[in-house]
Structure 1
Amino acid sequence: MSADWLGQIPAFLVACALLTLPGLPSALLLRLRGVTALGGAIVLSLASVGAATLLAPVLGLRWSLLPVLIAAAAITVVAAALWFVRRSAVQPLGGGAGRSVWLGVGVGALGWILILIVGMSGAGHPSQLFDGLFHLNAVEFVMENGDASPFHMTMVMPGVASTFYPTLWHALVSLVVPFSSGIVPATNVMTIAAIAVVWPVALATLTNVLFARYRAAAAWAPLVAFGFSVFPLGFLNWGVLYPNLIGTLQIPLLLAFVVLACRPGLTWGQRTGLVLTAIAAMGATALGHPSALLGAIALLVPFAVWGAWRVAKAGSTRTRVLVVIAVAVATVALVAVWRLANVTTHEWLPGSTLGAALGEVAFLSPVGRATGLLVGPLAFVGIWTVAKSRRWWILGSYGVAIILFLVSTSLSILGLRSALVGIWYDDTTRVAALLGVLGVPLAALGAAVVWSWIRTQWKQRRSVRAVAVVVLGVLLAATHLSALVNDLRYMRNVSFRFDAHSQGLSADEAELFAEASSLLGPDALVLGDPLTGAALLYAYTGHDVVFPHVTGRYDADALLLARSLNTASTEVCSSIDRLGVTHVLDFGDRQLYENHYVTYNGLHDLAGSPILTEVASVGDSAALYQVTGCP
């Protein structure tokens, strides 16, 4: 491990603490045990952070750890009240398989830490993808304004008082920054912590809840997850999708606590606590990204239908009528919300045939990734096991994920496709992640069944057969390495590459940021083409930029300068004066996202401009100019 990663250990510990400690007392007071307790702690911790982003402005507090502690304390008080009224009558929930589950979670966490460190290469390497500009700058926006409210994320809409954008990710990273060396390393540390802590625990918790009879399945879930390549690594190589990442990581926990809350035989105190935990999970997931919450709700539809059917079947005529009305109202509400949340752009079109998409589902290797040969067959074993127990809603939920993926990747009727998957921008990568939410637990169940068979064969002295299956499993597991290597290669060569050949910000340009920080006054406003990485001056130094992201609601003067600054016309000087632009960055012609519909052609070839004077430069293409020639 390189020295720059070692220097981030305090920040990593803080990130892990943020993800687990605020909600841990409440989870224990709710009598959750084993991996389910840690899953509950994560849910309530993220809910505490999410609630704090909403409460802090109302209470007049700047964004910091204090609002998080206040929210966590309030949740703890509720959990303590529930513990007090039922302290002598309730058995703990969700113990799991003991040490084997913790071993699986630990190996999963360690594996993701190592994988991500190798992929990112350096702690200070920024994401070089399109949305990285927004997310890195949004953290600075939160810190500068002391406000992490999702209703106040107006960074790319100057002059707008309120809007909505999910800010849970940015709130978390901003709390880690003081313990790190900047926004970029804090973002990378939080990425590692979120994936290594939340994903293995979430999968183990859901698997434990769904397949309690097969206690070893929860231990296998974090390990099987390494074979599902589209998530989480795919979200770092596409986008970059930080909010979707923190939202999707929570989906298994949300499902687990909804199922637990509906378990028969609970006392009213137990059920109340679990219902509140499930509601907290919904809120935290929505503040991660609303599409993650809607995806979770879609996966829960078969469970809801199954529950409604059981209630109606066992109830009176009056009960059946009420169930029918409730189902009708819920259906109308879901369709209405699904339509309102649609953000389709038709930017991403179907990219596969139905046959190819079905093959990707069968092997759980979606979105054109190298096909691994173990996880898919294990999922089939899990499906067969569930089918034998007639727990059809689990297969129905997995079927929902499959249908959404097939629609996204292969349906050519674009209107229908967008109506179904438009909440994910018609993006197959985001939809494909839902396959892993239930596909991985099913594969873990399959692994537990196969492992049990192997142990039985060994005990019955059929060692040759047992060893042969183990060797076959190892060989099939090795086929998943290709997809993992491809993801890591893309991370190192594109997504997090940080040198003279980076597709976005280069090391020379970041060095110029450091030099510019001492040259720019507190009232400086800097212009630059965000597609070249110039926008990241804001994240690196805190100095204001005209374009903190490529897209946004910018005024006419800003757009005129984007198109025409290099003409040095009278109109250009008038716009510079109205905006208050003092400096300009020119990082050459290399862009991280070419042919975008927003034009920034006027922010290039500035060396000979009569209205600009170069004040600093690094390398061949990174230059900082001061506006000096406008009257």
Structure 2
Amino acid sequence: MSWLEAVPTALIAVGWLLLPGLLLGYAAGFRGIPAWGAAPVASIALIGTLAVAAGAVGLTWGPAIVAGGTVIAAVLVLAVRLLIARRAKPKPTEQDPWSVRIAALIGILLAVPIGVVTVMAGMGEPDRLVQSFDAVFHLNAITFILEEGNASSLAVGGTTDPLGDGGFYPAAFHALASLTESIAGVGVHTVANLTAVVVALIAWPLSCMLLVRQIVGPSVPAMVLTGLISLGFESFPWMLLGFGVIWPNLVGMAVLPAGLAAVIALTRMTKRVTLGNGQAVLLLLATLAGGGLAHPNSVFSLAAFSIAPVAFAVFRQASRLVSVKRYIPATVLVVVPVVLTIVGGLVFATSSAFAELTSHDWPAFETPSQALGEVAFGGLNRRDATWLLSLAVLIGLVSAWRGRTHRWLVFSHLTAGVLYMFAASLDSGLSMLLTGIWYNDSHRLAAMIPVTAIPLAVIGLTAVARALHRFVAERRWTGPITKLTGSVATLTLLLGALLVVQSGGMYARDHPELIGRLYPETPNNRRENLVDPDERRFYAEVAEIVPEGATVANQPWDGSALLWALEERRVLYPHLVFEWNEDQEYLAENLHEVATDPVACQAVQDQGIEYLISGSLDFWPDDARRELYPGIEAAAGAPGFELVAEDAGLQLYRITDCAAG
């Protein structure tokens, strides 16, 4: 598939990402940049919630559910809004002038082409299969939704268990992709790629624009530059487009800035209010719901970023109470949040959920000073430094600290940086305690840093522009230089343009490699060879032989776990490792004895297994978990298995004999 042919599918994905949220936002009174900046997170929250509700009452998941649910939700929101407006006059909020709205549109129109070119260079083709451990589950989860008609986060965990219901698994990304695929029909792996790209290039810049708008006010240069700057950081979105791939985490982080904008509005950490209290509450709830159903990491990240503004707001209010000698309420206001935070942390740290999270320990790979240097100068996870962009962020830190109004932003940025430092450089109990909810993964924590770095970069460029404007004005120069420095806005735009040009399009030449490492045109080494072109051709042949509804036994590490997503033929093991049910566990050891073992035979019948596929083990050759399926590997050619197709080192067997019970 060419990128031109992929445009209709991408536009369908954009529609699902924006239209439900826009309708809800306008019903709630959002206008201008807040409406568009809140649209992605509102859509994701609505889609994720509707998926859970539909699964609970047994409705088949599809576009009709979302369309009808969106209309009903919008009517309810509008009715509540009008009822509240009749009872209490809402406080006025600052509306964006058309110049600012147009500037935001220009910013998006400048950023998206850079992002598209980057993705095209990194991914190659939109239908290229990602050679990734994590992608196996995600692609099969979308297939599960399309086949079962259930996109609930309480059901999608059943992807890995043919007879089970599964537990909770955040499935907003999979639900969003399934909606696009149900209309486009281009293939699960293609629609997953395009959904992730749309989230990165549309949801992320829009959310960042809302955050920057909330912090710096209705600034034309800020809106023009935010979209471009949002694509300049390697750690997000580019790293998460080519790491894992952890598409759910990508979605959760992409809409996090909108939630932080809501926190800033509620804590009054800005002088230019663009969100009313009611709107901010709705946006915060949408972020908690959408983020939680996309990936809970985003909720934890929002909590980490919110510590500073909430603390500032609490101490500011406590100081006011002390000034009027209301000491007891002031003490309660300070002590209660601290106690609740400590108790909540202790409860979570001693829970089984935390024990599961902390079982994923990534070893430290650098010193604390190196990690903090990466936070300051870019190049997180040992990438190349981004000197110019980092300089703008550092100037923004100084300016935010000196300006007092945005001092909270300094602490929030440092919070993300310190968390990254612990994950990247320290193997200790404290490090696991602080970073365990992010799986102690430096990549996930590095993805947080651009959330605060983007507004800081905008503040930094503006601060330099003000200094230059003042410098020229004090010297009363005349001539062309006076025209160029006639306003801070013009100077900020010029500095932004200089940053884009001197950084090579916001370091666009460096980003394709981050994506492309999981999208090789032809897998050329064993570690990245999950499904090669020969295997894909054989899978198409398998689909012509195996009837729909039949299950194929497989050794998932040979790539056959993706037979389900690629050819819609169910496999016994739809992921490389998982907590399998009793039948799956038994057959992993004993399938080769199906002709003589009544227990294996019964498991085969219960699971609906009619065929066995066998191939070569190329992927991750050093991973010991590949050895967990000896009964599957020994079954090829064993009694009770008839060879029906063979090509390029791959075989398909029919199960012909089963032991009598």
User: After TM superposition, is the score higher than 0.5?
Assistant: yes
In 1: Cα distance, 2:49 partner to 2:343 partner: 24
In 1: Cα distance, 2:612 partner to 2:481 partner: 72
Question: Residues 312 and 469 from structure 1, CA distance in 2 versus in 1: closer, same or farther, beyond 3 angstroms?
Answer: closer
Counterpart residue number, 1:372: 386
1:240 aligned partner, one-letter code? V
Out of 59, 62, 67, the residue aligned to residue 61 of structure 1 is 59
User: Relative to structure 2, which stretch is displaced further, 569-578 or 494-503?
Assistant: 569-578
The Cα shift of 1:319 comes to 2.5
Superposed, which structure 2 residues align to 1:522-533 within 5 Å?
A: 522-533=548-559
Out of 308, 311, 319, the residue aligned to residue 317 of structure 2 is 311
Question: Residues 165 and 217 from structure 1, CA distance in 2 versus in 1: closer, same or farther, beyond 3 angstroms?
Answer: same
Counterpart residue number, 1:444: 458
Counterpart residue number, 1:491: 515
In 2: Cα distance, 1:394 partner to 1:371 partner: 22
The Cα shift of 1:47 comes to 1.6
Counterpart residue number, 2:44: 46
1:259 aligned partner, one-letter code? I
In 2: Cα distance, 1:488 partner to 1:348 partner: 25
Deviation per residue, 1:116-171 (Å, 9 max, x gap) = 12221122212211000000000111121111111112222454445111010110
The Cα shift of 1:387 comes to 0.9
Deviation per residue, 1:91-132 (Å, 9 max, x gap) = 454527332222112222222222212221122212211000
The answer to whether the Cα contact below 8 Å between 1:128 and 1:592 also exists between their aligned partners in 2 is no
2:629 aligned partner, one-letter code? Y
2:652 aligned partner, one-letter code? L
**Are positions 1:192 and 2:218 aligned together?**
no
**Are positions 1:335 and 2:341 aligned together?**
no
1:509 aligned partner, one-letter code? E
In 2: Cα distance, 1:456 partner to 1:193 partner: 41
Q: Aligned residue pairs: how many?
A: 623
CA RMSD of aligned residues (A): 3.1
The Cα shift of 1:511 comes to 1.9
Deviation per residue, 1:298-318 (Å, 9 max, x gap) = 110111111111121112234
**Are positions 1:300 and 2:329 aligned together?**
no
Question: Residues 230 and 266 from structure 1, CA distance in 2 versus in 1: closer, same or farther, beyond 3 angstroms?
Answer: closer
In 2: Cα distance, 1:458 partner to 1:513 partner: 69
The answer to whether the Cα contact below 8 Å between 1:31 and 1:92 also exists between their aligned partners in 2 is no
Counterpart residue number, 2:154: 151
Out of 199, 208, 216, the residue aligned to residue 211 of structure 1 is 216
User: Relative to structure 2, which stretch is displaced further, 292-301 or 254-263?
Assistant: 254-263
Identity of aligned residues (%): 26
1:491 aligned partner, one-letter code? I
Counterpart residue number, 2:614: 586
The answer to whether the Cα contact below 8 Å between 2:557 and 2:576 also exists between their aligned partners in 1 is yes
Where 2:337 maps in the other structure, the secondary structure is: helix
Where 1:613 maps in the other structure, the secondary structure is: strand
Counterpart residue number, 1:168: 172
The Cα shift of 1:570 comes to 3.5
User: Relative to structure 2, which stretch is displaced further, 308-317 or 291-300?
Assistant: 308-317
- Structure 1 gaps of 5+ residues are none
Where 1:597 maps in the other structure, the secondary structure is: helix
**Are positions 1:615 and 2:653 aligned together?**
no
**Are positions 1:382 and 2:405 aligned together?**
no
- Structure 2 gaps of 5+ residues are 486-490
1:95 aligned partner, one-letter code? D
Out of 108, 111, 116, the residue aligned to residue 113 of structure 1 is 116
The answer to whether the Cα contact below 8 Å between 2:589 and 2:630 also exists between their aligned partners in 1 is yes
Out of 354, 359, 369, the residue aligned to residue 373 of structure 2 is 359
In 2: Cα distance, 1:456 partner to 1:25 partner: 44
In 2: Cα distance, 1:265 partner to 1:478 partner: 35
The Cα shift of 1:601 comes to 4.7
Counterpart residue number, 2:96: 95
User: Relative to structure 2, which stretch is displaced further, 386-395 or 132-141?
Assistant: 386-395
Question: Residues 229 and 549 from structure 1, CA distance in 2 versus in 1: closer, same or farther, beyond 3 angstroms?
Answer: same
Question: Residues 473 and 280 from structure 1, CA distance in 2 versus in 1: closer, same or farther, beyond 3 angstroms?
Answer: closer
In 2: Cα distance, 1:405 partner to 1:27 partner: 34
In 1: Cα distance, 2:497 partner to 2:3 partner: 36
In 1: Cα distance, 2:61 partner to 2:94 partner: 35
Where 2:609 maps in the other structure, the secondary structure is: coil
Counterpart residue number, 2:288: 282
User: Relative to structure 2, which stretch is displaced further, 214-223 or 606-615?
Assistant: 606-615
Counterpart residue number, 1:326: 336
TM-score w.r.t. the length of structure 2 is 0.86
TM-score w.r.t. the length of structure 1 is 0.90
Counterpart residue number, 2:488: none
The answer to whether the Cα contact below 8 Å between 1:408 and 1:428 also exists between their aligned partners in 2 is yes
Question: Residues 188 and 456 from structure 1, CA distance in 2 versus in 1: closer, same or farther, beyond 3 angstroms?
Answer: farther
The answer to whether the Cα contact below 8 Å between 2:595 and 2:658 also exists between their aligned partners in 1 is no
Deviation per residue, 1:367-387 (Å, 9 max, x gap) = 111222111111011111111
Question: Residues 118 and 603 from structure 1, CA distance in 2 versus in 1: closer, same or farther, beyond 3 angstroms?
Answer: farther
Question: Residues 396 and 25 from structure 1, CA distance in 2 versus in 1: closer, same or farther, beyond 3 angstroms?
Answer: same
In 1: Cα distance, 2:161 partner to 2:188 partner: 22
